[in-house]
Amino acid sequence: MIIPSHEHGLRDLRNVGYYRLAAYWYPFREIDHVDADGTVVRSDLLQAGTTFDDAHALWTFDQRLRLILLEALEQIEVALRVRTAHCIGAQDPFAHLNAFHLDTARCLAIVHTPQGSMTAHQWWVARYEEKLASTHDDILRLYRSRWELKPPVWVAVELLDFGMLSTFFRQFLTKAQQSEISRTFGISQGSFLVNWIKVLNHVRNMCAHHARVWNQPVTFRLQRIPTGISPLLDPLNTLTGTPKTRIYSVLYLCAFLLDSLGENSDWTNKAQALVASFPSVPGPTLNDIGAPENWQTHAIWAT
């Protein structure tokens, strides 16, 4: 490996670490062979001419990619909290605590927990009440000191992390409730949003824990949207094979969801510029993040 600046190289090794950086120069290793299933197996030798700066460029791109995803996911998560609270709060301010205002059958399903057998909803409420008891949020404490009530749903959603919110939406809302909320995100069928939230929660965890995302498969796949439901989503159906499981599809989905919230233009411009800035290094290409050659013609980038 060519190291143009030993000073910069040592700084990165001290601050980022050898193991983390090694994942970014792995794509520059020579290909040893390709397995029958198409898996590329690389040798321990780097391709001739590989520089430390090449790996650093990929690491920097990946860092910027995580940050821009988190920026979008924050807006999507907050909107999901508000719209969930608005939907079920119209029935009862404490609907989140009452299984009969939700999907009763799934709420009352028995689960086995470390605390013993209980309903799935009871288990979720127990975790929620643990969060409620341990919160130091000034606004919530003021609310409780004045009214001595359990928080209504529009307050309660602010206590939930994305994982608990995702579980509540997927597992306990009725299909009608899911679809009502989905329509505010630009899609009519609730099952699509259920799938998207699961994918986005997984990606959020990857980003929050600083995992490599630029060339990693996304564990949960986006559900295929039938052509014509939304023209903006049609390009996702053109992604097949490896690209369909990579981060570009999630980046595209974030742009769609922000567009439905009226928050798209600035973020989309930044996301588009980031993808276009993919490092010009030997070997890795935009295909590794799942972006096809014609990605700039996809409808969402023109909104």
128-131 contacts at long range (C-beta below 8 A, 24 or more positions apart): 128/96, 128/156, 128/159, 128/160, 128/164, 131/159, 131/160, 131/164
Contact partners, residue 106, CB within 8 Å, separation at least 6: 120, 171, 172
pLDDT for residue 264 is more than 90: no
DSSP state, residue 201: H
Kindly give the interhelix angle for 52-89 and 175-183, rounded to the nearest 10 degrees: 120
Q: Give residue-wise pLDDT tens across range 115-126.
A: 889 999 999 999
Which band of pLDDT confidence, cut at 50, 70 and 90, is reported for residue 165?
very high
Higher pLDDT, 29 or 200: 200
Residue 176 pLDDT level (bands cut at 50, 70, 90): very high
pLDDT at residue 221, as a whole number: 87
Domain limits, the chain: 94-191
Strands 110-113 and 40-46: unpaired
Instruction: Name the CA dihedral angle for 25, 28, 30, 31, rounded to a multiple of 10 degrees.
Output: 100
Range 253-265 average pLDDT: 88
What's the predicted TM-score (pTM) here?
0.91
**CA-angle at 69, arms to 68 and 71, nearest 5°:** 65
